[in-house]
Structure 1
Amino acid sequence: MKRKSLVLLLVMMLMSTFTLYGCGGAGNTTQSSTQETSQETAQQGEKKAPAKVDIFQNKSEFAEQLEAAAKLYMEENPEVQINIETVQGADYATALKAKMLNDDKPEIFGIAMVGVKEDYGDYQEDLSDQPWVEHLYPDIKETVTVDGKVLGLPVSIEGYGLAYNREVFEAAGIDCSTLTSYDAIDKAFATLQQKIDNGELKDKYPQLEAVVEYAAKEAFISGLHLMNIPLQAELKTAKAAFEAQEIELTHADSLKALIDLQTNYTPARNNKSLLNSVDYSTQVGGGLAIERVAVIQQGNWIAPELANVAPDVLEKIDVMPIPLKGVVEDSIAVGVSFNWCVNNQASDADKAAAKDFLNWLFQSEKGKQIVIEELKCIPAFDNYEDLDRLDPYSKRVAEYMGQGKTMPWVFSGYPKGFEPQAAADIQGYFAGDMTWEECVQKLKEDWKTLR
């Protein structure tokens, strides 16, 4: 978010906490948890009515941590049964649609853009009277307000760029402070790849085989996040994207340059069709986490996984810009990927429990600690004081925000189906099925047809 109000609030808040101010996951797996407890709580003076809260969400990167948080809440509120189902990757939208057609609809569900009629607008409870609303950053609040009603809780401010292992670059003699433009990054990648190929880093990083890993198999990486970079420069806002009947792709040349930057230094650089089989797990857990590669296009949502499998590597993670050559080169993309909505057709008891759980998680002292330390979220609220507890990646995202070096997310305004189709188009380009010019034309045609 680049709006002044958000930046000023972030700067003021972070100056008091640390000196330096600065659709997730992939694959097609489903995780679910049902936690039960019969413990009594001494904090409740009167017995509350039994309530059920089903949460249907897509943040697989903190699914286990969210389940643990729900268990803690149920220990304090034994009359409430919380069930969490997490569907990750491109299957989420389809799974949510099926879920909302069932009689047993979730009490809390996640969506990218609130208020859109076809995106469950009829199911979104007015949350304007909730205690957390007054603490939303103004620019963030604007994104979840429709006709004067706050319809969703922003789960986390997120940012993505080129996540990299700073120590690998330093070992190659590269000054990381210079990585602020397309040309500088390209030059650094070339230098690092040459040293890898020459075996100069073999002793310190025995598994390091390439600079970058690019997971072209995942629709959200190419179709959602990569395409956002040129489209945010063309369309400016998610609302404008939602209203756009067609796109010009005025920055197609810069998009190709960005694709080249991320694929010319991969293990598949001599046969880019192989990128189409690289998935999220290979890129993150089997790539960056084990120091097989030094750079991936991902956001701060990878922090929980790195914290679990390679906490030492997480401490080395830094973020460089994701440069749109000649347009905007020293920024990362920042926004809110998902908002949790309360189903207004649930029973009164279940709705009350759903709202109380959201307040507990995002506003109680215990909940705030969980949000920052366990869920690894950058909170969308102005009353979090200990942001120095954020993981290294999230701190860097916050630093970019404080410096105003951000570009917006417009992908919540994409036509339905554009994400997987755009990814398929780019996969076709990697496979050699079409030229770049044909790929650009196909992307424009797909937008218009899907809209």
Structure 2
Amino acid sequence: MKKSGLASLLILFLAFSMVLTACGGGKSGGGSNPAGSETATNGADSAKQVKITFLNSKAEIQKQMEEAAKAFTEANPNISLEVITTPESQSPVERASSLYAAGTPATLAMLDAGDIVKFQDKAADLSGEKWVSDLAQPNEIDGKTLAFPFAVEGYGLIYNQAVLDKAVGGTFDPASIQSVSDLEQLFGKIEASGTAPLIIGSMDWSLGNHYLAIAYATQPDGDVNKFLDSLKAGNENLAENASFTGLLDTFDVMKKYNKGKNDPLAVVLEQTAAAVAKGEAGITFNGNWLITEIQKSNPDGQFGFIPVPVSDNSGDKANSSIAIGATKQVIIDKAQSTEEQQAAAKQFLDWLVYDPVGQDFLVNKANVVPAFKNIDLEPDNSLAKAIKAYNNAGKSIPFAGNYVPGDHWKVLGASMQKYLVDKVDRAGLAAEIHDYWKNVK
């Protein structure tokens, strides 16, 4: 005890002497070299802890996103990164808007691509960032890069390879499905093999922003914005539109063979993933992000995509293409975030693109196809590989959900749900779609 007390007194004496020396040195140095004092202050600021937040709107990777934040923080101890969730009841634009309204916007916000324009006055200009030159495709609004493309994703009819191989008596080739009739024949073969052909998820975002949006993407000239402008102006008649009617022809066939047709609205995403993963259903409609859920039940299975046919014409390009696009995009808030927070946020985006751990998170943990040419990692899951193969072969249609307003999935997703349960007919559905677009500002 006494030895410890003497040692403590000695340490205090030495520390006090060092403080006096430092003060004296600072006083004489401060007068002759003020720049040296400023440098010391800046050094202290650079070591200061900076807290930033990331609004995640991909619920299926919430856990992976939190693990990535932890890895980034460990590599950058002066930055604390917190991941904020988006509740199932809110769209990304609603969640981001509520945070702004509360005066606590996320430093980084992951939004649907079509919502970026709504926040362009609050988004930092990222045009000068290094990763912009490594983008596979430009990502600009009015000549500026305002958002970081987090993921290239695609969707269509997801199938279990083993189930379909059994149904066709050999190796199933998705290229064999070129029309609505081909798809119905395939459903019949799956059913005859003893498995439910299909299970339809009732999620409004899936039916509204993904399934219905195929009609927007498969117009003859392929110009999504032009078609949507025409819808807004009231110059379209969906009841007579070939892509729309063909898409509903396919949906009617899907409804007929739906495993969940006794209570369609009770079927949620997790059920669709489990059913296809376990071979209880051969097919479901969704995107490559579903692989995270599928692998919970079948980590070693092989899965692929069949394009959603919109006609009985086997030569129709749309019948052999799936919707692909840079879906989720990340903005950095400049309205209420400090310069230090914005710099830290940019550092995180650089980490995703250039750090091996960040790249591994994007490709192997988040299971997305990255939007950057410099990332050479190959996807390690079958759905991401299928997206990449379709994209490389030029067999893609626009991811039209990127072009629609933030409430599209809720409003018209609800309309599609009514069509799913036969609460509205085709004419009624078309009328609801027209009414929606007529009121879009």
Per-residue CA deviation, residues 103-141 of structure 1 (Å, 9 max, x unaligned), is 221100022237865x11211101111111110013xx2
Tell me the amino acid that sits aligned with residue 281 of structure 1: E
Counterpart of 1:189? 187
CA contact (8 A) 1:322 1:332 kept: yes
CA contact (8 A) 1:418 1:450 kept: no
Moved more, 287-296 or 238-247: 238-247
Per-residue CA deviation, residues 332-365 of structure 1 (Å, 9 max, x unaligned), is 1101111001111210111110000111122212
Confirm or deny that 1:277 pairs with 2:266: yes
Correspondent of 2:329 among 339, 355, 359: 339
Confirm or deny that 1:318 pairs with 2:309: no
Correspondent of 2:150 among 129, 146, 155: 155
State the SS of the aligned residue for 1:312. coil
Q: Give the alignment's Cα RMSD to 1 decimal.
A: 2.3
State the SS of the aligned residue for 1:91. coil
Counterpart of 1:79? 78
Instruction: Check 1:150–1:355 CA distance in 2 against 1; reply closer, same or farther (3 A cut).
Output: same
Correspondent of 2:213 among 218, 228, 232: 228
Counterpart of 2:372? 381
Deviation at 1:67, TM superposition (A): 0.8
Instruction: Check 1:105–1:238 CA distance in 2 against 1; reply closer, same or farther (3 A cut).
Output: farther
Task: Give runs of aligned pairs for residues 51-450 of structure 1, distance below 5 A.
Answer: 51-87=50-86, 89=88, 91-92=90-91, 93-113=93-113, 117=117, 119-138=118-137, 141=138, 144-172=139-167, 173=169, 175-177=171-173, 178-182=175-179, 183-196=181-194, 208=195, 210-216=196-202, 218-234=203-219, 236-240=222-226, 243-244=229-230, 245=232, 246=234, 247-249=236-238, 250=241, 251-269=243-261, 271=262, 274-285=263-274, 287-313=275-301, 316-325=302-311, 326=313, 327=316, 328-345=318-335, 346-387=337-378, 389-450=379-440
CA contact (8 A) 2:114 2:405 kept: no
Instruction: Check 1:181–1:45 CA distance in 2 against 1; reply closer, same or farther (3 A cut).
Output: farther
Return the TM-score normalized by structure 1: 0.79
CA contact (8 A) 2:127 2:145 kept: yes
Measured in 1, the distance between the counterparts of 2:400 and 2:142 equals 20
Measured in 2, the distance between the counterparts of 1:132 and 1:248 equals 43
Per-residue CA deviation, residues 254-310 of structure 1 (Å, 9 max, x unaligned), is 0211202322211244x5xx212211122113x222322111111111122233442
CA contact (8 A) 1:174 1:188 kept: no
Deviation at 1:90, TM superposition (A): 5.5
Q: Which runs of 4+ in 1 moved over 6 A?
A: none
CA contact (8 A) 1:238 1:409 kept: no
Per-residue CA deviation, residues 215-247 of structure 1 (Å, 9 max, x unaligned), is 12x111111101111111237345436644144
Unmatched runs of 5 consecutive residues or more in structure 2: 1-42
Per-residue CA deviation, residues 363-409 of structure 1 (Å, 9 max, x unaligned), is 2122112211111110101012232x431111111111111111101
Larger radius of gyration: 2
CA contact (8 A) 2:324 2:399 kept: yes
Counterpart of 1:50? 49
Measured in 1, the distance between the counterparts of 2:349 and 2:106 equals 14
Instruction: Check 1:267–1:87 CA distance in 2 against 1; reply closer, same or farther (3 A cut).
Output: same
Tell me the amino acid that sits aligned with residue 102 of structure 2: N
Q: Which structure dedicates a bigger proportion of its chain to helix?
A: 2
Instruction: Check 1:97–1:227 CA distance in 2 against 1; reply closer, same or farther (3 A cut).
Output: same
Moved more, 166-175 or 84-93: 84-93
Measured in 2, the distance between the counterparts of 1:238 and 1:289 equals 33
CA contact (8 A) 1:241 1:410 kept: no
CA contact (8 A) 2:150 2:326 kept: yes
Paired residue total = 383
Tell me the amino acid that sits aligned with residue 218 of structure 2: A
Measured in 1, the distance between the counterparts of 2:249 and 2:413 equals 17
Instruction: Check 1:390–1:240 CA distance in 2 against 1; reply closer, same or farther (3 A cut).
Output: farther
Deviation at 1:59, TM superposition (A): 0.8
Per-residue CA deviation, residues 300-323 of structure 1 (Å, 9 max, x unaligned), is 11122233442023xx11111111
Instruction: Check 1:115–1:167 CA distance in 2 against 1; reply closer, same or farther (3 A cut).
Output: closer
Instruction: Check 1:302–1:294 CA distance in 2 against 1; reply closer, same or farther (3 A cut).
Output: same
Unmatched runs of 5 consecutive residues or more in structure 1: 1-43, 197-207
Overall identity of the aligned pairs, in %: 21
Counterpart of 1:6? none
CA contact (8 A) 1:114 1:152 kept: no
